[in-house]
Amino acid sequence: MILLKDIVKVYPMGTRELVVLKGINLEVESGTMVAIMGASGSGKSTLLNILGLLDIPTSGTYYLEGKEVSHLSRQDLALVRGQKVGFIFQQFNLLPHLSALANVELGMQYSVGVDRKLALEALSKVGLADRVNHRPRELSGGEQQRVAIARALAKSPPFILADEPTGNLDSKSGKEIISILVDLHKERNVSLIMITHDPGVAQYCQRIVRIMDGQIVGDEKL
Amino acid sequence: MIKKWLKLKIFGSGDDSALIKRNTTVQKWLQPLHTAWVGVATHKLRTFLTILGVVIGVAAVISLMSVGRGTQANIVSSVESLGSNLLFISPGSTSSGGVRGAMGSATTLTVKDAEVISEYGSYVTAVAPTNRAMLQVIAGSSNMRANITGVTTDYQQVLNLQMAEGDFFTEYQYQSGMRVAVLGATARTTLFGEDEAIGQQLRLGNIVVDVIGVLQSKGASMMGNTDDAVFIPLTTLRQTVSAQRTSTGEYTVNQIIVSLSDKDYIQNATAEITSLIQYTHNISEGEDNDFSITSQEDLIATITEATSSMTILLGAIAAISLLVGGIGVMNIMLVSVIERTREIGIRKALGAQERDIWTQFLIEAGILTLAGGIIGIIVGWVVSVLIQEVGNTTTLVSADIIILAISVSIAIGVFFGFYPAWQASRLNPIDALRSE
């Protein structure tokens, strides 16, 4: 379970300060699939980064599985991030010089340890069993994003965070990615929090949280 | 506390095999090595340039220093091959009106001095006065300008000269000023080539001499190059070159070489011979000597000093190469860490600790500089062997130089591999991920 209380994030902009998040209160039950929607600059990416422990809030408290994680040291943040969170980025963020398999193994290396069997399982789960030795540039965008999903799920994290996972894909590949994510969520009961601009994609989620100007302006269960 | 919580959670979930694996010692050590190896193997241009930088630096230091050290060792050993129990007496610089002439330009040393030393010196086994003249030597159709050295029979013993053909001249031949000559190895080849030399005739200035012996090659030494020289009796030299005499009618010589019964007597013998010559030259206490005595050891010291400065010069050039190579390595390391900031961000997003990041870059730098160092040693060694073969000089590869070159390059590589990576490892993962 995720619980955010009065999360504020301020970025210094020269002499002025830019308040990106203005007191976010959010609770996400384990095993739910949540879409976060909002315009560019609304603060949704910052929120996702804080949820994924890539960034720390300026003030407020963040409880992850009942544990306060908003004031952890950098070392402990990395540890928790590795064990608890799988990321899927809009830019895929695969290492270009590594094969699909090595990229998936990289996702396990810093948390649960490399296990080739699990890595291959994850790749076949996303339908890339015959593509394991391909480098990212030899794969289509959709395939690259599937490698990234395999990388996130190989370590079986309780949370998967996705920042516009279909944003760089054509609609057909986008649909495939979404159906993989939906299957994954159903099968493993993993919590999935996803930023998206696409109302069609958001329809697959159980809940849609809308953000505007750093504040939650809408929260609907589907 | 955090670790405990994480372990409890994951152990408790039943799927704990992977977590245990992460904690085994083998994976703890092998994983970073493997990660670093992949980094080295997949960034081929960086790997090549870094290794090249280290190879150039290390190879330059090793080969240049081997030339310096080799030359030094060569000269010292050729001086020592003369025997370390020799004293060299030269006419001292003439001092007139405060102007000092060049060393050896005076004509104060005489055959008489040699006889006095031979007769009264306590530690002396042989005395060899020598006189030199550059003359055109003609043998049939060949000719060369050679150093004609007038010597006594003792000269062969004093300088430990071995005969390749024929014999050295005898005491009788010396006393009677017979026109005979002994050739150095190079002079023999220049004048006669493959032909028989013994029994042939040579024209030296206005006299003709018979060749009676040829010396074994000895290489260049302090006494000049005996290989290039033609040796004739001192008495015979006077017949072709107008002999200089002192006011008292003594024949002058360029040099007197004294061999002592043991090198331990060098100091005592030097003192004794100094007073003997002061007596024969009428030099009273406090006056400047008109001669100088140098021992073998003085010569070695002087030469070592001279060649040391050459070695230092070569070392400086080598150090510059090492520095340039090091700056190259530094540049590549800095650029590659900047290029790979995104990779660092990805690794951190996947849970990498700062330690994981800088360990990876440190091991990568270590692998690169070590490989470069080893190749550099091999290349440096090969180059120094080539210099020895082609350049016809002695080179000497020494362990301390290898260790120095390797440690400097590893220090540069590791520092500049580590430092920027350490800085990048501290970046906020968000900022690292945004970098292109």
- CATH number assigned to the domain comprising residue A122: 3.40.50.300
How many structural domains comprise chain A?
A: 1
Whether A72 is in a domain gets the answer no
Give the up-direction half-sphere exposure of residue B436: CA atoms within 13 A in the CB hemisphere: 1
* pTM for this predicted structure: 0.68
Name the residue in chain B with its Cα closest to that of A115. B18
Residues A196-221, mean pLDDT to the nearest whole number: 91
User: Cα separations (Å) of B63 from A165, B56, B376, B380?
Assistant: 58, 10, 10, 5
- pLDDT 10s digits, B82-96: 666 888 888 875 444
| Mean pLDDT of the A78-95 span | 91
Q: What pLDDT digit, counting tens, does each position of A34-66 carry?
A: 999 999 889 999 999 999 999 989 999 999 988
Question: SS3 string of chain B?
Answer: CHHHHHHHHHHHCCCCHHHHHHHCHHHHHHHHHHHHHHHHHHCHHHHHHHHHHHHHHHHHHHHHHHHHHHHHHHHHHHHHCCCCCEEEEEECCCEECCEECCCCCCCCCEHHHHHHHHHHCCCEEEEEEEEEEEEEEEECCEEEEEEEEEECCHHHHHCCCCEEEECCCCHHHHHCCCCEEEECHHHHHHHHCCCCCCCCEEEECCEEEEEEEEECCCCEECCEECCCCEEEEHHHHHHHCCCCECCCCCEECCEEEEEECCHHHHHHHHHHHHHHHHHHCCCCCCCCCCEEEEEHHHHHHHHHHHHHHHHHHHHHHHHHHHHHHHHHHHHHHHHHHHHCHHHHHHHHHCCCCHHHHHHHHHHHHHHHHHHHHHHHHHHHHHHHHHHHHHHCCCCCCCHHHHHHHHHHHHHHHHHHHHHHHHHHHCCCHHHHHHCC
- Contact of B354 with chain A, judged by CB distance below 8 Å, is answered with yes
For the stretch B62-115, pLDDT in tens is: 988 888 888 888 777 777 766 668 888 888 754 444 444 444 445 778 888 888
Which residue, among B346, B354, B360, would best test binding to A if mutated, counting the most A CBs under 10 Å from its CB? Answer: B346
Name the residue among B9, B35, B353 with its Cβ closest to that of A78.
Answer: B353
Give chain A's mean pLDDT. Answer: 91
Taking an 8 Å cut-off on Cβ atoms, the answer to whether A79 and B346 are in contact is no
Query: Is the pLDDT reported for residue B6 higher than 60?
Result: no
Residue in A67, A74, A97 nearest the CB of B5: A67
What's the domain range around A166? 33-56+77-221
Residue B15: pLDDT band (50, 70, 90) is very low
Tell me, yes or no, whether A113 lies in a domain. Answer: yes
- 3-class SS of residue A45: helix
Would residue A141 count as lying in a domain?
yes
CB B54 within 8 A of CB B377: no
Selected for mutation to probe chain B from A11, A108, A111 (highest B CB count within 10 Å) is: A111
Chain B residues whose CB is inside 8 A of the A54 CB are: 348-349, 428-430, 433
- For helices A100-109 and A141-154, angle between their N-to-C axes, nearest 10 degrees: 30
Return the pLDDT at B26. 60
- B-contacting residues in A 62-101 (Cβ below 8 Å): 65, 67, 72, 74-76, 78-84, 87, 89, 93-95, 97-98
- The answer to the question of residue A9 being in a domain is no
pLDDT at B157: 84
Where does the pLDDT of residue B9 fall: very low under 50, low under 70, confident under 90, or very high at 90 and above?
very low
Q: Which residues of B touch A155 (CB under 8 A)?
A: 18
User: What local confidence, expressed as pLDDT, does residue B12 receive?
Assistant: 36
User: Residue B93's pLDDT is what?
Assistant: 55
% pLDDT > 90, chain B: 8
Would you tell me which residues 51-80 of chain B have a C-beta closer than 8 angstroms to some C-beta of chain A?
none
A199 found inside a domain? yes
pLDDT for B345-383, tens place per residue? 999 999 998 888 888 888 888 888 889 989 999 999 999
In 10 A of CB B218, how many CB atoms?
A: 19
Three-state DSSP class for A186? helix
Task: Examine residue A181 and state whether it is found in any structural domain, yes or no.
Answer: yes
Judge: B22–A113 Cβ closer than 8 Å, yes or no.
yes
Q: Alpha-carbon distance B357 to B364, whole Å?
A: 11
B10: which chain A residues are within 8 Å (Cβ-Cβ)?
Answer: 83, 112
Per-residue model confidence as pLDDT tens digits over B203-257: 888 889 999 999 888 765 555 577 888 999 988 888 877 777 777 778 888 889 8
**Does position B386 have pLDDT exceeding 80, yes or no?**
yes
Mean pLDDT of A12-20: 87
Q: What is the pLDDT of residues B258-316, one digit of tens each?
A: 888 887 788 888 888 888 888 888 887 777 788 888 887 777 787 778 778 888 888 88
Report CA-CA distances (Å) from B369 to A118, B320, B323. 36, 18, 14
From the list B42, B343, B350, which residue is nearest A107 (CB)? B350
Q: Is B6 on the interface with A (CB under 8 A)?
A: yes
In a domain, A27, yes or no: no
pLDDT tens-digit readout, A149-172 = 999 989 889 999 999 998 888 989
With CA atoms as reference, the chain B residue closest to A71 would be B2
Name residues 294-353 of chain B within 8 A of A (Cβ): 342-343, 345-353
